[in-house]
């Protein structure tokens, strides 16, 4: 039994194994020339998936039907508004960051108010919300692309001790999230709610409070990610969050978090994020089109959740 548990616990290792295999294949194709560059790029881009993935992981841990589809719109809005507020003035970077986080807070609260007040599935609430946020972003942006101030963009593209700064940010956030999930009462409550919401309520857990805080946390992480992504890519673009919708779900699922809820995994998010980036760059290296990359992405996600569904077959 204990052995079974330990294998079960270490499902996330496979995402790292897969990432390593894909890395090796890609490097082999280029004769080792791309080794350093590929690794650095992988950590940079993985950092974004990791930050949004951690938030999505918390939401998915709440149990079946819980998923936040407003992540891309939130990223766009926070990136747009924050850079507009900073307006290339380096002294406003910190307030700008706080505004981004504040937007996340607002979106999270709005999401959960819809879920709670209208009693609708989170997927619909966050989807409807995302349209409103997206419109707000379009309205704020007005086609202008405001550059981030120099120190901010230097930070976003810079390296410290050989690792991208953004990867360090992601690492810091991951460590905090890990503690929150594994060691705090709140984390324990989230996992309990995800396994059995009714039992959680009857064990005295304030279920609404826990769920609301989870949606807020997810939206705040998405907003922070949007802030850094806009700084990294030299300004906010209206479609900049688009690919993170599926990506956030994919890294959670591939990272070994159970879509049935109540069982999540922080390290797996790292392995999965690196893997997802490396697959795309491998397909690029081998000259596959966008179409093939999308098909592969879809198939990998479906394949992984089928493989991860160890439940007994019901006929």
Partner 1 sequence: MKTLFSADSLRILVPAFSLAALLAAVFYLQPRTMSYMGLNLMFNLAVPIALATIAQMLIIAVNDLDLSIGAFVSFAACVTATFLESDPLIGLIILAAAVGVYALMGVVIYLRNLPAIVVTLGMSFVWSGLAVLLLPSPGGSAPEWIRAIMTSRPPFVPMAIIASVLIAIVAHLIVMRSSFGVVMRGVGGNSRSVERAGWSVVKVRAMTYALAGTFAVIAGIVLVGLTTAADANIALRYTLLSIAGVILGGGEFVGGRVSPIGAVIGALTLTLAASFLSFLQISPDWQIGVQGAILIIVLAIRLLLNRRERREKRA
Partner 2 sequence: MDTNMSERPVIEITGARKLFGAVKALDGADFAIAPGECVGLVGHNGAGKSTLVNVINGGLGLNEGQITLSSGQVSSDFSIRVARAQGIRCVFQELSLCPNLSVVENMRIAHSGLSGPGWRSQARSMVDELLDKIFPGHGIDSGRAVSELSIAQRQMAEIAIAFSSHGAPTALVILDEPTSSLDASRAEQLIAYVKTFNAAGGAVIFISHILGEVLDVSDRIVVMRDGKVVSDKPSSAFTVGSLVQAMGSVAAESAGRRTVAKRAVSEAPVIAFPRERDAVEFEAFKGELVGLAGLSGHGQTQLIVDLFMSVSGDWWARREPVAAFVAGDRIVDGVFPIWSILLNMTIAVLGRWQRFGLTDRAQEAEYGRTWHEKIGIRTPNLDHPILSLSGGNQQKALFARALGTSAPLVLMDDPMRGVDIGTKQDVYQMLREEADSGRTFIWYSTEMDEVCVCDRVYVFREGRIVRELEGDAVSEENILAASFGERVA
Residue 106, interface with partner 2 (CB under 8 A)?
Answer: no
Helices 13-29 and 266-285: angle between axes, nearest 10 degrees: 20
179 binds, among partner 2, partner 1, none (CB under 5 to 8 A by kind): partner 2
Nearest approach in angstroms of CB 273 to partner 2 is 24
Query: Which is nearer to partner 2, 239 or 312 (by Cβ)?
Result: 312
Nearest approach in angstroms of CB 297 to partner 1 is 5
| Distance of alpha carbon 151 from alpha carbon 91, whole angstroms | 10
Query: Which is nearer to partner 1, 203 or 294 (by Cβ)?
Result: 294
What character string, x for contact with partner 2 (CB under 8 A) and - otherwise, covers 177-196? --x---xxx--xx-xx--xx
- The tokens 């064990």 sit on which residue? 203
Q: Are 229 and 48 in contact (CB under 8 A)?
A: yes
Contacts 24+ apart (CB under 8 A), 111-118: 111/68, 111/70, 111/215, 111/219, 112/211, 112/212, 112/215, 112/216, 115/211, 115/215, 116/208, 116/212
Lookup: tokens for 218: 């997810």
Residue 176, interface with partner 2 (CB under 8 A)?
Answer: no
Residue 1, interface with partner 2 (CB under 8 A)?
Answer: yes
Q: Are 306 and 71 in contact (CB under 8 A)?
A: no
| Distance of alpha carbon 100 from alpha carbon 90, whole angstroms | 16
Which window, 62-70, 164-172, 217-225, 255-263, contacts partner 2 (CB under 8 A)?
A: 255-263
Residue ranges that bind partner 1, judged by CB under 8 A: 64-65, 67, 114, 117-121, 123-124, 127-132, 134-136, 138-139, 246, 249-250, 253, 259-260, 289-299, 301-302, 305-306, 309, 311, 313-315
Residue 289, interface with partner 2 (CB under 8 A)?
Answer: no
Burial grade of 119 (CB within 10 A; 0-12, 13-18, 19 or more)? exposed
Nearest approach in angstroms of CB 245 to partner 2 is 27
Query: Which is nearer to partner 1, 220 or 250 (by Cβ)?
Result: 250
Query: Which is nearer to partner 1, 61 or 297 (by Cβ)?
Result: 297
DSSP class of 120:
-
Query: Which of 262, 270, 271, 276 contacts partner 2 by CB under 8 A?
Result: 262
Query: Which of 98, 172, 199, 307 contacts partner 2 by CB under 8 A?
Result: 199
128 binds, among partner 2, partner 1, none (CB under 5 to 8 A by kind): partner 1
Nearest partner of 255 among 5, 15, 10, 6, judged by Cα: 15
Where is 163: in which H helix or E strand? strand 163-164
Residue 293, interface with partner 2 (CB under 8 A)?
Answer: no
Phi, psi of 133, deg, nearest 5: -65, -40
Lookup: tokens for 110: 């709005």
Query: Which of 151, 162, 209, 298 contacts partner 2 by CB under 8 A?
Result: 209
Query: Which of 203, 290, 294, 307 contacts partner 2 by CB under 8 A?
Result: 203
Three-state DSSP at 159 gives strand
Q: Are 271 and 16 in contact (CB under 8 A)?
A: yes
Residue 201, interface with partner 2 (CB under 8 A)?
Answer: yes
Residue 278, interface with partner 2 (CB under 8 A)?
Answer: no
Residue 204, interface with partner 2 (CB under 8 A)?
Answer: yes
Using CB under 8 A, list all residues that contact partner 2.
1-2, 5, 179, 183-185, 188-189, 191-192, 195-196, 198-209, 212, 258, 262-263
């Amino acid at each position: 039994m204990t052995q079974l548990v330990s294998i079960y616990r270490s499902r996330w290792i496979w995402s790292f194994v897969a990432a390593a295999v894909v890395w090796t294949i890609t490097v082999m194709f280029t004769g080792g020339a791309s080794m350093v560059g590929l690794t650095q790029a992988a950590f940079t881009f993985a950092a974004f998936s990791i930050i949004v993935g951690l938030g999505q992981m918390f939401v998915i841990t709440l149990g079946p039907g819980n998923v936040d589809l407003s992540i891309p719109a939130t990223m766009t809005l926070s990136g747009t508004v924050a850079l507009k507020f900073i307006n290339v003035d380096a002294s406003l970077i910190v307030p700008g960051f706080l505004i981004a986080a504040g937007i996340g807070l607002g979106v999270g609260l709005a999401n959960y108010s819809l879920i709670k007040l209208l009693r609708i599935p989170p997927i619909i609430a966050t989807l409807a919300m995302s349209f409103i946020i997206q419109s707000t972003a379009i309205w704020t942006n007005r086609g202008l692309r405001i550059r981030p101030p120099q120190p901010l963009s230097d930070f976003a593209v810079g390296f410290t001790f050989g690792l991208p700064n953004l990867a360090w940010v992601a690492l810091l956030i991951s460590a905090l999230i890990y503690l929150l999930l594994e060691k705090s009462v709140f984390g324990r409550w989230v996992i309990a709610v995800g396994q059995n919401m009714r039992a959680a309520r009857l064990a005295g857990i304030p279920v609404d409070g826990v769920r609301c805080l989870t949606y807020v946390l997810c939206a705040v992480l998405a907003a922070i990610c949007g802030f850094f992504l806009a700084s990294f890519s030299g300004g906010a673009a209206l479609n900049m969050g688009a690919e993170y919708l599926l990506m956030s779900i994919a890294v959670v699922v591939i990272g070994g978090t159970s879509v049935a809820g109540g069982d999540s995994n922080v390290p797996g998010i790292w392995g999965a994020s690196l893997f997802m980036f490396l697959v795309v760059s491998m397909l690029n290296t081998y000259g596959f089109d966008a179409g093939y990359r999308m098909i592969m992405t879809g198939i990998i996600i479906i394949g992984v959740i089928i493989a991860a569904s160890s439940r007994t077959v019901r006929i």
